[in-house]
Amino acid sequence: MSHRFLSVALNELLSVTRTGERGFRTCAEHVASSSLRELFSAIADRRRSAAAELRELIDRCGGDPGIRCVIPGAARRGWVNLHAALKLNDDGALVDECERGEDHALEVYRNALDDHLPEYVRQVVLRQFEDLMNDRQQIRMSPGEAAAGGTVITSYGEHARQ
């Protein structure tokens, strides 16, 4: 993998990780359930640590942690309905949005792992990917998920109960 493509891949991971941290912090501030608040805060802290680790990798590879992703806004794609979920004032809607954000982050990490990363980079990215999968599972098993009641938020911010 060329230096340029490695830098772009790492910056895309950094962007999606930072966005995830902000999304989880926002959800932690607005969720009613104390157990979900603790879970979302813990995940946000893990994303902050992961972002710091990615910045170190970018520096080590001689890259610039400030360059933009290949696709503008790609990192936010997973959290596109967060504001609509906040307006619902419903823990289940926030859990759904966190799951959607994690699904997108997992996709970005899978794409990075499909690239030919240097071994020391691959080890970090793979560990972070596994952490994402564990966090995704915790969200899925969270008490708020059972209370979600099938809230669906469309891409236009509309919602419906199933």
Can you give the CATH number for the domain in which 87 is found? 1.20.1260.10
**pTM, full prediction:** 0.80
Question: CA–CA separation, 133 vs 117, rounded Å?
Answer: 20
Answer left, alpha or beta for residue 73, where phi above 0 means left and psi between -120 and 50 means alpha.
Answer: left
Could you tell me the residue range of the domain that residue 93 belongs to? 3-161
Could you give the angle at the alpha carbon of 94 between the alpha carbons of 77 and 141, nearest 5°?
A: 105
Q: How far apart, in whole angstroms, are the C-alpha atoms of residue 5 and residue 38?
A: 37
Instruction: Give the separation between CA 80 and CA 54, rounded to whole angstroms.
Output: 23
Q: Is the pLDDT of residue 26 over 50?
A: yes
**Other CB atoms closer than 10 Å to residue 106's CB: what's the count?**
17
Least confident of 7-11, 62-66, 128-132: 62-66
Q: Report the number of distinct structural domains present in the chain.
A: 1
Amino acid at 7: S
Query: What pLDDT, on the 0 to 100 scale, is given for residue 156?
Result: 39
Paired with 159 in beta bridges are 153
Judged by average pLDDT, the poorest of 12-16, 71-75, 117-121, 135-139 is 71-75
What rounded mean pLDDT belongs to the chain? 82
